[in-house]
């Protein structure tokens, strides 16, 4: 990319939480119909983006919630965490009308730099096997599929994912 879009990456703070929850819902509704059922979308949004969960997440010492602004507008977020000894990019979501402009790439770079600073040699993530667009993006960022995993997330739902890894 020649002219990188100027974005500002800042930590999510408590007053940001309701806007992050709303942004997550908007992006999920634009992404997951056709990949998972509406019932699973609603269940997972409540499980992962309920405001109480987000308030709790930002207090954790081994989790980092970053949000990206472009010209003052909140356009996406990336959450990462230390999980079972690995550095995990847990959630990466860009508003539909700001996708494919390099925002996701800049958030991945930001996350990879944090992981490297903390001494990790790889960044890992999970992605739904049917989320072809995200998988294409992750390949572009240098991730490769490491394994497949089916996880029971409660409520009668499973996540059918690839684990992808980017060496740092």
Q: Which residues bind ligand COA (CB under 6 A)?
A: 27, 31, 92-94, 99-105, 127, 131, 133-134, 136-137, 140
Residue 84 half-sphere exposure toward CB, CA atoms < 13 A: 4
CB of 92 to ligand COA, least distance (A): 4
Which of residues 58 and 128 has its CB atom nearest to ligand COA in the complex? Answer: 128
Which of residues 53 and 100 has its CB atom nearest to ligand COA in the complex? Answer: 100
CB of 121 to ligand COA, least distance (A): 22
Which of residues 17 and 134 has its CB atom nearest to ligand COA in the complex? Answer: 134
CB of 69 to ligand COA, least distance (A): 14
Question: What's the CA gap between 40 and 45, in Å, rounded?
Answer: 8
| String of DSSP letters for 79-139 | EEEEETTEEEEEEEEE-GGGTTSSHHHHHHHHHHHHHHHTT-SEEEEEEETT-HHHHHHHH
């Amino acid at each position: 990319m020649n002219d990188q879009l100027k974005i500002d990456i800042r930590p999510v703070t408590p007053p940001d939480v309701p806007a992050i929850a709303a942004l997550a819902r908007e992006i999920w509704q634009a992404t997951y119909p056709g990949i998972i059922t509406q019932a699973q979308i609603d269940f997972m949004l409540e499980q992962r983006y309920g405001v109480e969960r987000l308030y709790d997440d930002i207090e954790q010492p081994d989790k980092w919630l970053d949000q990206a602004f472009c010209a003052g507008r909140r356009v996406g977020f990336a959450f990462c965490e230390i999980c079972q000894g690995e550095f995990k990019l847990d959630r990466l979501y860009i508003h539909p009308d700001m996708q494919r402009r390099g925002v996701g790439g800049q958030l991945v770079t930001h996350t990879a730099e944090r992981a490297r600073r903390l001494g990790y040699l790889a960044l890992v993530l999970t992605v739904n096997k049917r989320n072809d667009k995200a998988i294409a993006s992750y390949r572009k960022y240098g991730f490769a599929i490491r394994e497949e995993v089916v996880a029971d997330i409660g409520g009668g739902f499973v996540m059918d994912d690839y684990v992808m890894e980017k060496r740092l």
